[in-house]
Chains A and B, each alone.
Chain A
Amino acid sequence: MDDKISVRQICFILFAYNAANKMLLYPSFAANAAGNALAFPVLFDVLLQAVIIWSVAFLSSRTDKSFFGLMEDTFGTVAAKIVYALFALYFLLSAIIPINEQQLLVHDSFYDTLPSLWIFLPFFIFAVYAGVKSLTNVGRCADLCLPIFIFCAFGFIAMGAAGANFNNLLPVLKQPFSKVAGLSLGSLYRFSESALLLIFMGHYKYKKGDAAKMTLSYIAGGLTVAAFMTIFYCVYGSLTPTRSFALSNISVFFPTISYVGRIDLFLLYAFDIVALFAAVLNVQAFVHCLCKAFGKNFRIIYSLAANVSLIAIMFAVNNNFIALQQAAAKWFWIPAAVFAYLIPLLAWVLRRKPR
């Protein structure tokens, strides 16, 4: 199976998928934690992660090897396999929040009456199918998702801006620093795309300037999220935390909606396609890591295992998502700091031959 991905596709992932994952429940969660300063932690986390992304991308300019190859050269095959298996676990952990948020979005915005939890199960058929696909498939899906994301995200921002009251942001520095810093730390696990980039290493051909392209794409994605969250807060002000899903609420005051109906829901459904791909990306990364560690023959088993685990977690946290989210904010920053911040930086000390 071909596992090649292009830098352009990685840029699209860092822009669109990165942003799509953070536009579901995160805006209202951030509004609850930091009030009108909800965009500052995003900007801080994005910039912090952008530095790591640049570091990993720049590392690719020094070697053609994958991260697995570098580990193998330095510590041997067994150590490389162990690290990749740990990365697989990390990606599985990272998949929990996006997939559960996706499930809540579906239950909240796709149906007039609250459906059964079982209605979300077909998602896992898709996740199993997508999970066995190669990185080439991941990249090509990103190619398709980018225009959808741009159209929908900017459509939401434009429609939301029409009903926004920018006075809601004032005074800008109202919130205490501790709240902003707390949200930054609690959101660290959401800004962990460098771990993915580490896995993509060696599967793309680095050319001069690619590190800058990837970093800027990531920053652009982060800025889109920040803009979206700011507009969302401007629309609802202090009521923002009560509006769970920004996507289905941001544009309800757009004047045309009262004449032509909820056209924004069509944008939401189109956007959800991107969010679905963004949600399964972690499953795909999980399968990829296990394939590297234990061989490609059991690809379908890995995908099935990941999805069965995620189904079990989904049923376990049913109606307790807030508790899960609070626990994630409290504890998930630790594995994120290790796998998406520390290890990518430590990758520089791995033995590598010049290109």
Chain B
Amino acid sequence: MNYALKERIAEVKGQLTSQDILVFEFDSLAGKKFACIYADGIVDKNLIGELIAKPLRAAREEDGAQEIKKLLAAPEVEDGKDIKGCIKSISDGNAALFIDGEEDFFIVGVKNPPGRAVAEPPTQIAVKGPREGFTEDIKVNLGLVRKRIKTKNLQIKTTTVGKQSETAVAICYIEGVCRKGLPEKIEKQIKSKEIDIVPDSSYISGFIARRPRSLFKRNATAEKPDIFCAKLCEGRVGIISDGSPIAITVPYTLTEDFQTAEDYYTVSYRATILRVLRLTAVLIGILLPAIYVCAQLFKIQLIPAKLLFKIASSVAGIPLSPSVEIFFALFVLEVLNEASIRMPKYVGLALSVVGALVLGDTAVKAGIISTPAVIIIAFSAICLYTVPDFVETSTTLRLVFLILAGSIGTFGVVLAAAFTMCYLVTEQSYGAPLLSPYAPLVAKDMRDALYKSNMGALNTRPKVMKTKNKVRLKENGR
């Protein structure tokens, strides 16, 4: 076989025809020829110089591949197997090192894809507690996890998903804590899906959900490594997808959305008050527009007399019926919400002023919608954002309740509540009932549900996780 460098380069370039695949050819002082093939933009060229080219200047003409490998200063050097593997490694951001006249080649880890630095995530902000957030780089994210969980029991299984993207996905769990067989089951489910590209971890959520069309999600999300690690220690499995700053954890219970990291960094009384507040706010956010419509259309007694007079004077002359009026206000709110997210930052500011102040104020003054409708919709929106992880579901539920309130009335709202309860109690995420610890009632887990007990009382892992090792806090010497 002929292993002339030019032909090896041509062979690789024949497969990787894109112009961003670069070839760096260099010689040693003794005249030995080498070629480094890499993808521009995702490797650190300085590392190629420092870890590959510089040490190889000492290579002698008679040195074989293994001698040359010993000269390399890079910590990640793998023997290349075949051209297919070589191409995959180059696409991943590694460099392939070819030696003139040698059959063997090496894959050198010099990956440095562009990415942002570790920063505080935009959601899951905490006043107290760690501020580091996940980034789009899986290696950085795994590093952040490893930084917090130093036990040898932390297991990270990596796999790739996506026919075109070949996105790396890491399944993290703690051996001996996590339920046996669960990581394997998740891995199997992820691998069973063939898709072109996995741009975000939400795709993985879709893959592992038992009912992907459900309104209620089946996994929790974490943007902060401290939350992610705490969940691993509870016996959950964490999934980190390359290119996504949002990790997902399963099994999931609905209670998780109402907990924040800060609950664990503050006194338990305060945490309990905040959890009750969040639950109340979400219930108000979902039901308030519906109840307002019901009160106006079907059961006027629901409104106290004095308030009723105020509302009556506000709605007098409004051309829309209460339900259409609330729908209209809700529609405007959703449009403003959507536009303010998508608009550039500076235009967004102007949009807030125009939308909230000018449009809202003018609409009320023009008598198109009433002041109570604006107040109710605004308050409902604020209430729902007290639990941002649940907002996708809660806004949809608000709409469903509103439609039922406008068509069937109060009974429709009550019936929808019963229906939702009946639906939710049988739903589960990897064996954990979605509504636990409330239904089924798990007394021990209630210590960290709506009521947040002090740290000493949270001495066992959640029972619904069915962990092997149940104790998480032992007090020695007492």
The complex places the Cα of A140 from the Cα of B254 at a distance, in Å, of 15
CB under 8 Å from chain B, chain A span 2-28: 6, 8-9
Query: Does A210 sit within 8 A of B, measured CB to CB?
Result: no
Q: Compute how far the CA of A277 lies from the CA of B426 in the bound complex, rounded to whole angstroms.
A: 15
Q: Is A176 an interface residue (CB 8 A)?
A: no
Bound Cα distance A136, B419 (Å): 16
Q: Is B126 an interface residue (CB 8 A)?
A: no
Select from chain B the residue with minimum beta-carbon distance to A2. B426
CA distance A260 to B300 in the complex (A): 13
**Are A123 and B415 in contact (CB-based, < 8 A)?**
yes
Kindly identify which residue among B298, B422, B435 contacts A129, using a CB–CB cutoff of 8 Å.
B422
Q: Is A265 an interface residue (CB 8 A)?
A: yes
**Residues of B within 8 A of A (CB-CB), count:** 32
Across the interface, do A110 and B422 meet the contact criterion of CB distance under 8 Å?
A: no
Write out the residue numbers on chain B whose beta carbons fall within 8 Å of the beta carbon of A260: 304
Kindly list 6 other residue pairs between chains A and B, CB separation below 8 angstroms, not including A111-B409, A119-B408: A126-B422, A129-B419, A140-B435, A144-B421, A265-B301, A277-B422
Q: Are B409 and A141 in contact (CB under 8 A)?
A: no
Nearest-neighbor residue (CB-CB) of A276 within chain B: B418
Q: Which residues of B contact A119 (CB under 8 A)?
A: 408-409, 411
Q: Is the interface of A mostly helix, strand, loop or mixed?
A: helix
Residues of chain B whose beta carbon lies under 8 Å from any beta carbon of chain A: 298-305, 307-308, 408-415, 417-419, 421-423, 425-426, 433, 435, 438-441
20 A–B contacts, CB within 8 A, in A order:
A106-B411, A111-B298, A111-B409, A112-B300, A119-B409, A120-B411, A122-B408, A122-B412, A126-B415, A136-B426, A139-B440, A143-B425, A143-B441, A144-B425, A261-B302, A261-B305, A262-B301, A269-B414, A273-B414, A276-B418
A136 to B417, CA, bound (A): 19
Fill in one digit per residue for A104-146: 1 if any B CB lies within 8 Å of its CB, else 0: 0010001110010001101100100110011011011101100
Cα separation A8 to B433 with both chains bound (whole Å): 17
| 5 shortest interchain CB distances as A-B pairs | A261-B304, A140-B425, A143-B439, A140-B439, A110-B410
Known: A123-B415, A126-B415, A140-B433. A110 touches B426 (CB 8 A): no
Size category of the A interface is 35 or more
Q: How far is the CA of A126 from the CA of B433 in the complex (A)?
A: 21
Query: What is the minimal beta-carbon distance from B416 to any residue of chain A, in angstroms?
Result: 9
Distance in angstroms between the alpha carbons of A122 and B435 in the assembled complex: 25
Identify whether the interface residues of B are mostly helix, strand, loop, or mixed.
helix
A residues near B418, Cβ cutoff 8 Å = 126, 273, 276-277
CB within 8 Å of B: which A57-107 residues: 106
Q: Which partner residue on chain A sits nearest B410 by CB separation?
A: A110
A256 to chain B, nearest CB (A): 10
A144 touches B415 (CB 8 A): no
Return A79 CB to nearest CB of chain B, in Å.
33
Shortest Cβ gap from B307 to chain A (Å): 7
Distance of A136 Cα from B435 Cα, bound (Å): 13
Q: Smallest distance from the beta carbon of B333 to chain A beta carbons, Å?
A: 25
When the two chains form their complex, are residues A115 and B409 in contact, meaning their CB atoms are under 8 A apart?
Answer: yes
CA distance A277 to B299 in the complex (A): 23
Q: A122-B408, A123-B415 are in contact. Are A111 and B299 (CB under 8 A)?
A: yes
- Chain B residues lying within 8 Å of A106, measured Cβ to Cβ, are 411
| CB-based contact A141/B302 at 8 Å | no
Q: How far is the CA of A262 from the CA of B308 in the complex (A)?
A: 12
- Once A126-B415, A129-B422, A276-B418 are accepted as A-B contacts, the answer to whether A110 and B298 lie under 8 Å apart by CB is yes
Query: Are the CB atoms of B410 and A273 closer together than 8 Å?
Result: no
Given A115-B409, A120-B411, A276-B414, the answer on whether A133 and B301 have CB atoms closer than 8 Å is no
CB contacts (< 8 Å) of B303 on chain A: these are 261
In the assembled complex, the CB of B301 is this many whole angstroms from the nearest CB of chain A, namely 5
Q: Are A110 and B302 in contact (CB under 8 A)?
A: no
